[in-house]
A and B are shown apart, each in its own frame.
Chain A
Amino acid sequence: GAVVSQHPSWVICKSGTSVKIECRSLDFQATTMFWYRQFPKQSLMLMATSNEGSKATYEQGVEKDKFLINHASLTLSTLTVTSAHPEDSSFYICSARDPGQGVSEGYTFGSGTRLTVV
């Protein structure tokens, strides 16, 4: 089945620094990847849709200058949290769907990144 790899699994950074999270599709090409954020005991919140070779589409309320998304290849999308603050501490998850599989196979998620800003 489709596999999505996400790194790092967890990261602790100082307030004001930037953190990059990588999401790779290992056995398929993903023209589109999705970035979610999840706060404790809450559901997934879509932050942006990452499109290979073009600008990402951000959801309302998500600052595009703070959450930089780059989708330079068909297998890699990166999310950079710039000038991180404690309120950015959250669980970040990427997701993609193998276009070679039917919609019924669902979307595959990366393992998530637990970001803690101190």
Chain B
Amino acid sequence: GQNIDQPTEMTATEGAIVQINCTYQTSGFNGLFWYQQHAGEAPTFLSYNVLDGLEEKGRFSSFLSRSKGYSYLLLKELQMKDSASYLCAVMDSNYQLIWGAGTKLIIKP
């Protein structure tokens, strides 16, 4: 079956760095997405990785290792507004998105 695992909840301090991991097992791979979702709102697109390596976008970076079925989202210089759920999703061979359960990130002052 298809499976995506990510931690349920993480806590970090304002100004610090946090890494949210995601491991996956899917039938085929056409890329991995990270989305941010604030409570009661729709998800917003953060990043897309299809090749191995690190993609950097400002304070956010995303890493992919296809051989390991592993990705992480790195958030630097954390701000209180970064408190949200972070969803990992993999596009399978049918171009369907398979979603992880999301990681709730709590930022403390």
Chain B contact residues, majority secondary structure: loop
Across the two chains, which residue of chain A brings its CB closest to B30? A103
Digitize A105-118: 1 where CB-to-B-CB distance is under 8 Å, 0 elsewhere: 11111111010000
Q: Does A19 have its Cβ within 8 Å of any Cβ on chain B? A: no
| A103 and B102 form a contact (CB under 8 A) | no
| B42 and A107 form a contact (CB under 8 A) | no
Size range of the chain B interface in the assembly: 20 to 34
| B42 and A110 form a contact (CB under 8 A) | yes
| B41 and A107 form a contact (CB under 8 A) | no
Q: Does B7 have its Cβ within 8 Å of any Cβ on chain A? A: no
Across the two chains, which residue of chain B brings its CB closest to A42? B101
Stretch at the interface among B20-28, B44-52, B66-74, B75-83: B44-52
| A46 and B97 form a contact (CB under 8 A) | yes
| B42 and A103 form a contact (CB under 8 A) | no
Q: Does A72 have its Cβ within 8 Å of any Cβ on chain B? A: no
Q: Does A93 have its Cβ within 8 Å of any Cβ on chain B? A: yes
Contacts of B102 in A (CB 8 A): 43
Report how far A109 CA is from B97 CA in the complex, Å. Answer: 13
Contacts of B45 in A (CB 8 A): 105-108
Q: Min CB distance, A88 to chain B, in Å?
A: 18
Report how far A100 CA is from B24 CA in the complex, Å. Answer: 28
Are A43 and B41 also in contact (CB < 8 A) when A103-B31, A103-B48 are?
no
Q: Does A104 have its Cβ within 8 Å of any Cβ on chain B? A: yes
Q: Min CB distance, A73 to chain B, in Å?
A: 22
| B42 and A109 form a contact (CB under 8 A) | yes
Are A43 and B100 also in contact (CB < 8 A) when A103-B30, A106-B48 are?
yes
| B40 and A114 form a contact (CB under 8 A) | yes
Across the two chains, which residue of chain B brings its CB closest to A36? B99
Q: Does B33 have its Cβ within 8 Å of any Cβ on chain A? A: yes
9 contacts between A and B (CB under 8 A): A41-B104, A42-B101, A93-B42, A103-B30, A103-B95, A104-B50, A106-B35, A106-B48, A109-B44
